[in-house]
Structure 1
Amino acid sequence: MSQLVSPRMQARAQSTVLRNVLRLPPSVLRRIAGAPTRIDGQELDLRVQAMLRLQHLTGQTQLSANTTEAARAGMRRGTEVLQGPAITGVDVTGKHVPTSAGGVGARLYQPKGLGQPSTLLVYYHGGGWVLGDLDSHDSVCRFLARHAGVRVLSVDYRLAPEHPFPAAVDDAVESYRYAVEHADELGTSADSIAVGGDSAGGNLAAAVSQYATGSDLKAPVLQVLLYPAVDASTRRRSRELFSDGLLLTDEDMDWFMDHYQPDEEQRGDPRLSVLLADDLTGQPPAYLATAGFDPLRDEGEEYGRRLREAGVPVVARRFDDLVHGFLQFHGIVDRSHEALLEIAGSLRTALALHA
């Protein structure tokens, strides 16, 4: 009988069970989650803690695996469990972005009823440059398109280890250039294109912004950096504080970097460690979000400070009760949903001020 139940059906059933568990009264959830997690003067959201506890009980304790295939399969399963109900009111069109390496896939998300032209957000998904794809961040892109009132072009850049650094950066830059050169076709104008991404995708968005301001390519009007990875050369305090049990682990981070840039001597390249760029003057305005219980927290916030010191307008927001990757479970965790709503609202406001 178990052979008649597909993996997708199993994931949907698990998603339903998880959503129902997380709707239990706080007193019951506390029994599941255990004592409050308090680190560095912060307290982890109860429902996030309960979700992590349940993942631990099922053996799902980290993002990395023995093989990239196993890790990617794990992320696909996790996406199906955590994404929640489908987001409607958005039209989605597949795209092909030509590049010097042969091209990458993309998806254009357009809120129903949105006029032309509108701002376009070129979005790069997270996953440590090794995991993730258009499907893993489909719900996030739909959410941003609908609630921020923008078009979103999600880019399926090449992944490591099959395509190590700087392949992802090259694809990110060429995809942004494509958006600028084909703005009319994408329902926008070259003066109304932003870049954004989460985690590794936030790294790529920052790298694209730096490349554009240092070349003849029109710079983005805004960079949306969501718990970005910005420095592969230095271990900071937050990586020690939140090294285990909070979704992204210290072991995961080593695993990702060993696949993306195995040469440790080259990890200070500013196309990877964007924090180490000599001059950040003239960068696009930035919205930078970090999570309190995230190994990447301190480097992301340091990047925000460096941008400010260079005279760049920055809105920095720490969601101090959340973990790395909180975008991915906005469909089942109320606090994550609230955070993504705030991000979408900030994006809408920033773009309206630009317009």
Structure 2
Amino acid sequence: MEDLHGPNGLPLRHYRPCEQARPLMVFAHGGAFVMGDLDTHDRTCRRIADACDVEVLAVDYRRTPEHLYPAAIDDVAAVLRWSHPAAVAGDSAGGYLATMACLRLRDAGDPLPAVQILICPNTDLTLSQPSVVDKGTGHALDADFLSWAIAQWAPDSATRALASPLLTPDLHGLPDTLIVTAEHDALRDEGDAYARRLAQVGVRVTHRREPGLVHGFIQNMDLTSPEAAAAHDRLFRDIASLIHR
């Protein structure tokens, strides 16, 4: 593991499973746009690197409320342009940033990663999907907190639809996509819907909804939940299959 700086001095952390070069994945951590950093997701990135035989470049993007939309997207897109990875990945808000960065590069005509990996992603900043109500209390991610966090990230409500991957009119040309959602997650339906929309325009999509699990299961839940540990194994197999094929 090595800490370094990328474009515009952005803090990065580089994980290598072995001395020989491996395909590179850029990883954007979750944290509802307001929390999370290189340390909160250190174990997750180490496990991905080891289990999937990939190098991982974790991005310490700028967070809100000090840095509003689209600052974090700018940061992830800049790292993609700088590092030319095989894949980009993220969980929760990080999944949002990963796919928004891909849309940014696509629209600019820049090279895209071959794969995007979205784990319990936020794709609809308007929070209009049914699971926000159905699963937004009594589970890991509270709908009131989610609404507050999005208001910190995009204070102007008029911009939220324009800033939502699910509501983007044209999704053609995005990378092969892995989307994993969780049954008891307020963000479940928007992740599922994004998988459907991508598939409808011809993007090659692998999509799975993990039964019985909650938002954030990727973050250390394998230590206490056999079900989460099994879901991690499935995720790692999918990541390796997509990146190494």
Pair in the same fold by TM > 0.5: yes
Counterpart in 1 of 2:107? 214
1:308 match: secondary structure? helix
Q: Is residue 128 from structure 1 mapped to residue 20 from structure 2 by the alignment?
A: no
**Farther off after superposition, 150-159 or 242-251:** 242-251
Alignment partner of 1:200 is 2:93: yes
1:311 and 2:202 are equivalent in the alignment: yes
Aligned to 2:180: 289
The equivalent residue for 2:13 is: 107
Establish whether residue 279 from structure 1 lines up as the match of residue 179 from structure 2: no
The 3-state SS of whatever aligns with 2:3 is: strand
What pairs up with 1:58-207 in 2 under 5 angstroms? 92-99=1-8, 103-113=9-19, 115-116=20-21, 118-180=22-84, 193-207=86-100
Paired with 1:285 and 1:132, the residues of 2 have a C-alpha distance of 27
2:129 to 236, 245, 248: 236
Displacement after TM superposition at 1:333 (Å): 2.2
Q: CA deviation at 1:234?
A: 4.0
Count of residues in Structure 1 that have an aligned counterpart in Structure 2: 244
Cα offset, 1:332, TM superposition: 2.9
Give the superposition deviation at 1:254: 1.1
Cα contact 2:182–2:213 (8 A) shared by 1: yes
Question: What percent of counterpart residues are identical?
Answer: 37
Structure 2: which 5+ runs fail to align? none
- Deviation, structure 1 residue 200: 0.3
> Cα gap change, 1:250/1:234 in structure 2, threshold over 3 Å: closer, same or farther?
closer
Give the alignment partner of residue 246 of structure 1, picking from 132, 139, 150: 139
RMSD over aligned Cα atoms: 1.1
The one-letter code of the counterpart of 1:347 is I
What is the CA-CA distance between 1:176 and the residue it aligns to?
Answer: 1.1
| Worse-matched range after superposition: 280-289 or 104-113 | 104-113
Mapped to 2, the partners of 1:126 and 1:337 lie a distance apart of 19
State the 1:120 CA deviation.
0.5
Structure 2: which amino acid aligns with 1:309? Q
Cα deviation, 1:40-97, whole Å, max 9, x if unaligned, reads: xxxxxxxxxxxxxxxxxxxxxxxxxxxxxxxxxxxxxxxxxxxxxxxxxxxx000101
Q: Are 1:343 and 2:235 counterparts?
A: yes
Q: Report the alpha carbon displacement of residue 240 of structure 1 after superposing the two structures with TM.
A: 1.1
Residue-by-residue CA offset, 1:98-117 (whole Å, 9 max, x unaligned): 22xxx21010000035x22x
Match of 2:214 among 315, 323, 332: 323
| Stretches of structure 1 lacking an aligned partner (at least 5 in a row) | 1-91, 181-191
Q: Which one of 149, 153, 177 corresponds to residue 260 of structure 1?
A: 153
Give the superposition deviation at 1:178: 1.3
Matches of 2:232 and 2:60, distance apart in 1: 22
Q: Contact (CA 8 Å) 2:86, 2:243: kept in 1 or not?
A: no
Q: Deviating runs (4+, > 3 A) in structure 1?
A: none
In structure 2, give the amino acid aligned to 1:312.
V
SS at match of 2:140: coil
Question: Matched residues in 2 for 1:322 and 1:295: separation?
Answer: 11
Mapped to 1, the partners of 2:64 and 2:147 lie a distance apart of: 14
Aligned to 1:225: 118
Query: Can you list the C-alpha shifts for 1:2-50, whole angstroms capped at 9, x where unaligned?
Result: xxxxxxxxxxxxxxxxxxxxxxxxxxxxxxxxxxxxxxxxxxxxxxxxx
Shift of 1:268: 1.2
TM-superposed deviation, 1:330: 2.4
Q: Tell me by how many angstroms 1:350 deviates.
A: 1.1
For 1:231 and 1:318, locate their aligned partners in 2 and report how far apart those are by CA, in whole Å: 17
